[in-house]
Amino acid sequence: QVQLQESGPGLVKPSGTLSLTCGVSGGSISRSNWWSWVRQPPGKGLEWIGEIYHSGSTNYNPSLKSRVTVSVDKSKNQFSLKLSSVTAADTAVYYCARVRRDSSGYYLMWYFDLWGRGTLVTVSS
């Protein structure tokens, strides 16, 4: 059974770079899946950050694209998030998730069927 686990610093200074890793256990990250990051500010809704395929192809939320990098390390069976120039507005619970993506149907299927437990990252000096 595949499980996801986020890890990384819980506190980042303003203007710094937020770095998180999602470890994938119970299965290979190189299977035919995309892998994604989603965040949720305290008391607010969900926001999609971006996604990566095991080949390294990526897609990003246009509103965050200039500050986001998602990468994959197949040897460690993990993928990572870097968010630069952070402010207090980037304080959130960050989730990693497995993406179900299939363009063979009438519409594109694109959703998240497995999530990590999430990790709170606070941006503060």
Decide whether 10 or 62 has the Cβ nearer to other proteins: 62
Q: If we measure between CA atoms, which residue out of 57, 38, 58 comes closest to residue 46?
A: 38
Contact positions toward other proteins, by CB under 8 A?
A: 36, 45-48, 59-63, 95, 100, 105, 107-113, 115-118
Minimum CB–partner distance for residue 49 and other proteins (Å): 9
State the minimum distance, in angstroms, from the CB of residue 51 to other proteins.
8
Beta carbon nearer to other proteins, 89 or 108? 108
Q: How far apart are CA 55 and CA 74, in angstroms?
A: 9
Closer to other proteins by Cβ: residue 66 or 75: 66
CB 48 within 8 A of CB 34: no
> Contact at 8 Å (CB) between 6 and 94?
yes
